[in-house]
Chains A and B, each alone.
Chain A
Amino acid sequence: MVTKKIAFACLGLVFLVGCKEVVKSNKDTISTIAPPTSGSGSVTHVDIAGGSPFKHTQALGDTTADLYYIFTNPNSSAVSGTPSYGQTVGSPAPLAQTMETPDLGPNLEAYAKAHQIGLRGTSEITAYNASPPPMYKGTTASQQATAPLRSAVGDTFTFYTESNSETAAATLRAIKTDGTVTVNLWVANDSWTGCVKANCMTQAMVDALGDKFLTTGANNDIYDWVTNLYGEPWGTQTYSNLIPSTAKTSIDILFYDISNDNSTTGGILGFFYSKDNYLSTSVSFSNQRLLFYMDSILTATKEGTTWGVLDYWPAEMVATLAHEFQHMIHFYQKNVLLGTSSTSSNSWIHEMMSMMTEDLVADKILVNGPRGVTYSDYTAGSANNQDGRPSLFNTYPYISQAYWANDSYVLARYSINYAFGAWLARNFGGAKLAHQLMVTDGDDTTTVVNALASLGYTETYPSLLKKFWAAVLLSSRTDNLAPYIFNTGAAFTSTYGALTYSLGSINFFNYGTGPTIYTSSNLGTAMSSMPAYSGVMMLAASGVKGNQTKTIDMPKGLDLTVVVKP
């Protein structure tokens, strides 16, 4: 009796299990809650919120191509977790590199010198310029008494440099003018001919640098090219603790051994310090003038047996003049005229615009610029390029784009902001966009969106980030359409005012081993979250065609862009 009951129960179980399998086998079951998505073409921006795995099918057609996923975090804060995708069985193992933490050591300047890197500005000065002291409405007697500076060659003056206790006694060595504006070129006495430093400044050097910045005639110097884009570095203003409006006719450049490091291999090339735009009654170590600081040692460092202004370090100094001049104009146009308030974390837009300036004038100042390709060569150059900002971008393309901190990533921050600015300039109007960025109030992501809107482009910051990284991946091709263009194989020309500016093509795959690209398996071990305003590029499959379906799991808050690259 017992045996019969047990046998009956077992038979019943077998029957029930069998029924279950029959029910299941009739249905096409899936294991993702989010509705499946699909796309075709070379770039697909997938409209789906993360947080739940979903299937994505990309129709590649009959042409063999590589399939990439780009995940971007458009938020102002990090998103925990990392995206991943299910591997297609039998697909080739994607190439990848491991994520590294920059090791710049405890001292950025020391690192720069060891690696022949030129720095523009210092962390303290960058932060100061982004968040300058308060300005007070009105005029004062001391302000009116500060007449335009009129000097003569041979005059001496002791400048405050980086603090109250740091000074440089200097002599005016040259005066350049275009008839409207005057540039006074000062050289620290301990850096002039016959000095005991590694390299000493000479009259020829001062004249050459001075002529690059300002010379007689129209549209033939940095002052003309940069002010055409952004406007004047000084002029009418209504604050009582700033230097008077009349100071606009005179710019001073001080050459001295910045940081007193006597370095001929790199370090700080120069800086603009907005404290000098304040009266000394407000900022005690102000020199009360429009002033750049340039490193005398590197300026005087020759490449061969004789010094030339296009030798490596002198050429870098010329580019530094353009870079720092943007900062000078930025302070007046934004902080003084528009009343823009900013924070040090927004320094990214200051630096992006300065590097955009270097890029736009590279072929005018005859310096290669941040692109790292010969200024007269508008193609994307050749493979294995180790120069320019893109090389470091390729190593660290996953850091925050719209964020600045003077941490161990600072050189990488320059690089990603150059790359982003270079993409904006090549797809959204070039010189016109540069101008709009300057005249649009604000120093943040909204400023970029508003500047683009004023030129007729409807974009959001999330959409810009998605398109930027897609353009990076597609930069090895010359047949992309805007806004995915980095590389046409020729120049990008744009006109603002009376001047035309040319930008060279960029192929990120020409720099080093190309952009860092991850796979599902190594991204998760490389990072645990996606930084604010960041993106990662992942190779999902190489050499595939037809419909490619994968299960994608991305944290909520991320955006997905699919790129197909033949």
Chain B
Amino acid sequence: MKRTTTVLVMGLFCSAWWGAKAQAADLLFFGLEAPLSYKFDQAKDGGRFAAQGSPAGLILYAKAPEVGMVMLEAYDVALKNSENSKFSYLLADFLYPYSLPFLDLAFGVGMGTANLKSGFATEYQQATAYQWIFQAGLPITETIRLTYSYHSVTAQLKYLSGNTYLEAGGTMTALGIGMGF
């Protein structure tokens, strides 16, 4: 009995997703995500920065049918063992969406800036940040999507008094929600 109920419920959900997908393709979606984690890339010196907790900031996105998805990101990543030091990222992205029957997908690229906020900030030049992005959206209802995005960031800040660069690139993950209108 219990198994039958579970199968029935799952079947209803799948039907809802399928139906939602068909109708959602024509909707304008807005959403926001909160950064979950940031893992820095390894630098040439063999070390890597460590983030202190989750990044602080927000990601906003809008997806229009037949046009694509734009995304705006602004977040800070505090550094472990570096008192009051953080990297600050500001990026604008364009993603190409693609919908599967039970999942919305999007791939894209972004560009922006990466800054150091620290007592040593004046020692480093602002860097241009690039990234590629992947987003997956799980339909909850016809108009609501739970989204997860993965960002691979490239950013190196030049040390003004030398030829070295701070390795500020890494991978960022975010979780959020989108709503269709």
Residues of A within 8 A of B (CB): 5, 9, 12-13, 16-17, 19-20, 23-24, 27-36, 49, 51-53, 55, 86, 551, 553, 556
* Top-9 shortest CB links A-B: A31-B47, A16-B132, A51-B83, A29-B167, A31-B43, A29-B43, A52-B82, A27-B165, A20-B154
From A5, A49, A53, A55, contact of B81 by CB (8 A): A53
A52 to B82, CA, bound (A): 4
Report if B48 contacts A (CB, 8 A).
Answer: yes
A30 and B164 contacting across the interface, CB-CB below 8 Å: yes
Given A13-B107, A86-B47, residue A53 in contact with residue B82 (CB < 8 A): yes
CB of A353, distance to nearest CB on chain B (Å): 38
Which residues on the B side are within 8 Å of A35 (C-beta)? Answer: 120, 123, 159, 161-162
Report if B13 contacts A (CB, 8 A).
Answer: no
CB of B159, distance to nearest CB on chain A (Å): 7
CB of A513, distance to nearest CB on chain B (Å): 32
Residues of B within 8 A of A (CB): 40-49, 79, 81-85, 96, 98, 105, 107, 109, 116, 118-120, 123-124, 130, 132, 134, 152, 154, 156, 159, 161-167, 169
From B45, B82, B96, B165, contact of A551 by CB (8 A): B45
A553 to B81, CA, bound (A): 8
Which residues on the B side are within 8 Å of A17 (C-beta)? Answer: 132, 152
CB of B64, distance to nearest CB on chain A (Å): 18
| Further contacts, 8 of them, CB under 8 A, given A29-B165, A35-B123, A36-B162 | A16-B132, A17-B132, A23-B130, A24-B154, A27-B165, A30-B159, A31-B42, A86-B46
Given A29-B45, A29-B166, A30-B164, residue A20 in contact with residue B132 (CB < 8 A): yes
* B87: nearest chain-A partner, CB-CB: A33
From A9, A13, A30, contact of B166 by CB (8 A): A30
Which residues on the B side are within 8 Å of A52 (C-beta)? Answer: 79, 81-83, 85, 118-120
From A19, A27, A31, A55, contact of B40 by CB (8 A): A31
* A89: nearest chain-B partner, CB-CB: B46
A24 and B156 contacting across the interface, CB-CB below 8 Å: yes
B44 and A28 contacting across the interface, CB-CB below 8 Å: yes
| Most B Cβ at <10 Å: residue of A17, A23, A32 | A32
Which residues on the B side are within 8 Å of A12 (C-beta)? Answer: 107
A13 to B96, CA, bound (A): 12
B107 and A33 contacting across the interface, CB-CB below 8 Å: no
A12 to B95, CA, bound (A): 12
Which residues on the A side are within 8 Å of B79 (C-beta)? Answer: 33, 52
B163 and A28 contacting across the interface, CB-CB below 8 Å: yes
B81 and A31 contacting across the interface, CB-CB below 8 Å: no
Which residues on the B side are within 8 Å of A51 (C-beta)? Answer: 82-85, 119
Given A17-B152, A53-B81, residue A31 in contact with residue B48 (CB < 8 A): yes
| Most A Cβ at <10 Å: residue of B43, B45, B84, B130 | B45
CB of A14, distance to nearest CB on chain B (Å): 10
A33 and B154 contacting across the interface, CB-CB below 8 Å: no
A23 and B154 contacting across the interface, CB-CB below 8 Å: yes
A49 to B119, CA, bound (A): 10
Which residues on the A side are within 8 Å of B163 (C-beta)? Answer: 28
Which residues on the A side are within 8 Å of B45 (C-beta)? Answer: 29-32, 55, 551
A243 to B109, CA, bound (A): 88
CB of B126, distance to nearest CB on chain A (Å): 15
From A19, A23, A31, contact of B49 by CB (8 A): A31
Write 9 A-B pairs (CB below 8 A) sorted by A numbering. A9-B98, A13-B107, A20-B132, A24-B156, A27-B156, A30-B164, A31-B166, A33-B79, A53-B81
Which residues on the B side are within 8 Å of A23 (C-beta)? Answer: 130, 154, 156
Which residues on the B side are within 8 Å of A27 (C-beta)? Answer: 44, 156, 165
* A81: nearest chain-B partner, CB-CB: B81
Given A12-B107, A20-B169, A35-B123, residue A30 in contact with residue B132 (CB < 8 A): no
| Most B Cβ at <10 Å: residue of A17, A33, A35, A49 | A33
Which residues on the A side are within 8 Å of B116 (C-beta)? Answer: 33
A138 to B52, CA, bound (A): 64
Which residues on the B side are within 8 Å of A32 (C-beta)? Answer: 45, 47
Which residues on the A side are within 8 Å of B169 (C-beta)? Answer: 20, 24
From B85, B107, B123, B165, contact of A30 by CB (8 A): B165
CB of A452, distance to nearest CB on chain B (Å): 32
Which residues on the B side are within 8 Å of A55 (C-beta)? Answer: 45
CB of A401, distance to nearest CB on chain B (Å): 25
A55 to B118, CA, bound (A): 17
Which residues on the B side are within 8 Å of A33 (C-beta)? Answer: 79, 82, 85, 116, 118, 120, 124, 166
Which residues on the B side are within 8 Å of A34 (C-beta)? Answer: 120
A17 to B41, CA, bound (A): 13
Given A5-B98, A52-B81, A53-B81, residue A30 in contact with residue B167 (CB < 8 A): yes
From A9, A19, A36, A49, contact of B164 by CB (8 A): A36
Which residues on the A side are within 8 Å of B40 (C-beta)? Answer: 31
Given A31-B48, A35-B123, A52-B85, residue A9 in contact with residue B167 (CB < 8 A): no
A148 to B81, CA, bound (A): 66
CB of B88, distance to nearest CB on chain A (Å): 13
Given A31-B43, A551-B45, A551-B47, residue A13 in contact with residue B120 (CB < 8 A): no
CB of B114, distance to nearest CB on chain A (Å): 13
CB of A28, distance to nearest CB on chain B (Å): 5
Which residues on the B side are within 8 Å of A13 (C-beta)? Answer: 107, 132, 134
CB of A89, distance to nearest CB on chain B (Å): 8
CB of B48, distance to nearest CB on chain A (Å): 5
CB of A38, distance to nearest CB on chain B (Å): 11
Given A30-B164, A35-B123, A52-B120, residue A556 in contact with residue B48 (CB < 8 A): no
A20 to B132, CA, bound (A): 9
CB of B89, distance to nearest CB on chain A (Å): 15
Which residues on the B side are within 8 Å of A556 (C-beta)? Answer: 83
A33 to B123, CA, bound (A): 9
Which residues on the B side are within 8 Å of A19 (C-beta)? Answer: 130, 154
CB of A31, distance to nearest CB on chain B (Å): 4
Which residues on the B side are within 8 Å of A53 (C-beta)? Answer: 47, 81-82
A32 to B118, CA, bound (A): 12
| Most B Cβ at <10 Å: residue of A9, A16, A19, A36 | A16
A551 to B47, CA, bound (A): 9
From B42, B85, B130, B165, contact of A20 by CB (8 A): B130
CB of B168, distance to nearest CB on chain A (Å): 9
A31 to B82, CA, bound (A): 11
Which residues on the A side are within 8 Å of B124 (C-beta)? Answer: 33
A29 to B152, CA, bound (A): 17
CB of B102, distance to nearest CB on chain A (Å): 14
